[in-house]
Amino acid sequence: MIYFDKVAKKYSNDPNAFAIQDINFSVAHNEFVSIVGHSGAGKTTLLKMLLAEERPTEGNVFFESVNVNELHRNEVTKLRRRIGMIFQDFRLLPNKTVYENIAFAMEAAGRSDEEIAFDVPHVLELVDLGHKIWDFPGHLSGGEKQRVAIARAIVNQPDIIIADEPTGNLDPVNTYEIVQILKKVNDIGTTVILTTHNKGIIDLLGRRVITMEGGRIIRDDASGKYVL
Ligand code: ADP
């Protein structure tokens, strides 16, 4: 589904300034892959290559056999619609209710009012937040905010969820809940790519772990090893 072929990225002309280099890996449909590494290891750069936010200096990134670097602007928009994003800082719209936050993402994807009225309550049930549908984000706990963000990310049925440090602002109880929900999202057929610093999450998941250091992949373990 995703294939990085000898990818390297330099942001400056300095020949030694590779943010990532020699990146080769693939992700199959319905995999759950964690990418771990210290700050500056290259995780964000790698995700930017996949989202076509940055162009590789060397190599190619393929999504369903399509070379992401060769897409035109409108095709990049289509690619990004197939990817749901979840961030550490939630990125909810503070002046909109939970319902409106999710409806907004559906409107942007061209979904009808009928679909929105039907799907928003349904997706909120999936993250156990049906009772908060008319609340504003400011009235929710961090864990609840992240569950809304997950609902928003999955409502347009993306092929992939990218969760970039999704539990970075959460306590252990909420972290556990978010990991369980991401597992559920994966169980219903969505590929999940997660970046994290949290060893506990890796142990809890017991899934594939790619470890990055100094811009390179130094390990790729089939199940749950965190060695940094
Ligand atoms: P991580 O997400 O693992 O913290 P990053 O991908 O953000 O790592 O960074 C990898 C390396 O690339 C770091 O050395 C960082 O300083 C550098 N880098 C990242 N973005 C830029 C940029 N826009 N311009 C110059 N250097 C950058």
State yes or no: pLDDT of 197 exceeds 90: no
State yes or no: pLDDT of 224 exceeds 80: no
The answer to whether residues 120 and 106 touch, using CB atoms and an 8 Å cutoff, is yes
Among 110-119, 162-171, 182-191, 216-225, whose mean pLDDT is lowest? 216-225
101-129 mean pLDDT: 97
Give distance in angstroms: CA of 39 to centre of ligand 1: 9
3-state secondary structure the chain: CEEEEEEEEECCCCCCCEEEEEEEEEECCCCEEEEECCCCCCHHHHHHHHCCCCCCCEEEEEECCEEHHHCCHHHHHHHHHCEEEEECCCCCCCCCCHHHHHHHHHHHCCCCHHHHHHHHHHHHHHCCCHHHCCCCHHHCCHHHHHHHHHHHHHCCCCCEEEEECCCCCCCHHHHHHHHHHHHHHHHCCCEEEEEECCHHHHHHHCCEEEEEECCEEEEEECCCCCCC
State yes or no: pLDDT of 227 exceeds 80: no
Among 72-76, 201-205, 221-225, whose mean pLDDT is lowest? 221-225
Q: What pLDDT does residue 198 have?
A: 87
State yes or no: pLDDT of 111 exceeds 80: yes
Q: What pLDDT does residue 76 have?
A: 96
Give CA–CA dist 65/53, Å, rounded: 18
Position in ligand 1 atom list of the atom nearest CA 212: 3
**Phi, psi dihedral angles at 117 (to 5 degrees):** -60, -30
CA-wise closest residue to 47 among 77, 6, 4, 90 = 4
The model's pLDDT over 18-33, given as tens digits with 9 standing for 90+, comes to 999 999 999 999 999 9
Among 20, 36, 45, 196, say which to mutate for ligand 1: greatest number of ligand atoms within 8 Å of CB. Answer: 45
The model's pLDDT over 159-168, given as tens digits with 9 standing for 90+, comes to 999 999 999 9
What is the pTM (predicted TM-score) of this model?
A: 0.94
75-95 mean pLDDT: 96
The model's pLDDT over 125-182, given as tens digits with 9 standing for 90+, comes to 999 999 999 999 999 999 999 999 999 999 999 999 999 999 999 999 999 999 999 9
Whether 40 lines ligand 1, by a CB cut-off of 6 Å, is: yes
CA-wise closest residue to 169 among 83, 91, 105 = 91
Give CA–CA dist 160/193, Å, rounded: 7
CB count, 10 Å around CB of 138? 9
Query: In the structure, what pLDDT confidence band is assigned to residue 200 with cuts at 50, 70 and 90?
Result: confident
Whether 11 lines ligand 1, by a CB cut-off of 6 Å, is: yes
Calculate the average pLDDT of the chain.
Answer: 95
